[in-house]
Structure 1
Amino acid sequence: MHGDTGGAVLHSATTALSVPSVIRLRRYIRVPYRRRVPLTRAALMRRDGHHCAYCGKRAETIDHVIPRSRGGAHVWENVVASCKPCNHRKADRLLDELGWKLNVTPAVPRGLHWRLINGEHHGDPQWAPYMARMAA
């Protein structure tokens, strides 16, 4: 579908074929299961856009909205990206105790692209237009 002039070439005895960097799937057979996307640090940062859920600055850590020490679970709906100062200030307290509010509502990421690329951007910039269509 998308040829890469600088990409790999397959050779046979009589023919040389360039390997496309993007191919289009014409038929897809849906797998009948609904497994949740695994909660990893990289996927969480991608979901939150590497922004702190409390102040909006660049996030370096993850934080449990309801601390695990107070019965909070390690699930998508309870974990957000956080900057180090906010994470340290919040510690093991609840948002109500600090008078804070979340800038985003934590949720499970949805969409096939989270499973296909494991929540990470593919390294090839030629994929960008195709991945944007898939995410929509």
Structure 2
Amino acid sequence: MSQKVLVLNQDYSALTICSMPKAFLLVYLNKAELIAESTSEKLHSIHQTFPYPSVIRLNRYVYFPYKGVVLSRQNIFKRDGNQCQYCGSGDHLTLDHVIPKSRQGRTSWDNLITACKYCNSKKGHMTPEEAGMRLLRQPFKPSFVMFLRNFSGILNQQWLPFVGSKTEPIY
């Protein structure tokens, strides 16, 4: 029962991902409707069988003023695939400011990357160009839907009509 469920707002926009028990409860209490269900699993009680939710839609619109991805260490690691953006290593990971803080580099999505301890100390207080190091990928701020789709670690095929495929751009 560790499967996750995509929750859509009343206007069918992706809102969040929740646990299956919470999604089932929302549907059972008529606070949400079932949009897509698992074809391979069912929920059973003593007397009834219920569909196993995969996508649900809330019956009331939920105003969600900030629909962005929180800047955190774990989210930077997810965005960068848990690998150093200089050498590709997955060991001893830290965060690195592309433009060092000592040179007024900001703590932002566009300036933070995942780096291993070796590359981070080799770069030191220099820019990657000054240190003779190349970035594997430029840092960027992911959109909320992009983060749900690409970096949450969960992508159910039934979610694709609502969050798009990994190759589709997000506007």
Give yes or no for TM over 0.5: yes
74-83 vs 16-25, which deviates more? 16-25
Alignment map for 1:113-124 (pairs within 5 Å):
114=147, 120-122=152-154
Q: Report if the CA contact (8 A) 2:67-2:144 is conserved.
A: no
What is the aligned counterpart of 2:72 among 28, 36, 40?
40
The number of aligned residues is 126
Identity rate, percent: 25
Structure 1 residues 2, 56: CA separation in 2 closer, same or farther (over 3 Å shift)? same
For each residue in 1:24-82, what CA deviation from the matched residue of structure 2 results, as whole angstroms up to 9, or x when unmatched?
A: 44989585756432111121111111121111222521111011122111100000111
Misfit runs of 4+, over 3 Å? 7-11, 24-36, 130-133
Show the counterpart of 2:99.
Answer: 66
Structure 1 gap segments, 5+ residues each: none
Give the TM-score of the pair, scaled to structure 1: 0.70
| RMSD, aligned CA | 3.1
The aligned counterpart of 2:135 is 102
Is the 8 Å Cα contact of residues 53 and 103 (structure 1) preserved in structure 2? yes
SS in structure 2 opposite 1:101? coil
Q: Give the distance between the partners of 2:143 and 2:108, measured in 1 at CA.
A: 14
For the residue of structure 2 that corresponds to 1:86, the secondary structure is helix
| Aligned-partner SS, 1:20 | strand
Query: Equivalent residue for 1:9?
Result: 44
Q: Is the 8 A contact 1:111 1:135 kept in 2?
A: no
Which structure carries more strand by proportion? 2
- Describe the shift of the 1:28–1:104 C-alpha distance in structure 2 as closer, same or farther (beyond 3 A): farther
1:128 and 2:156 are equivalent in the alignment? yes
Residues 18/30 of structure 1: CA separation in 2 closer, same or farther (3 Å cut): closer
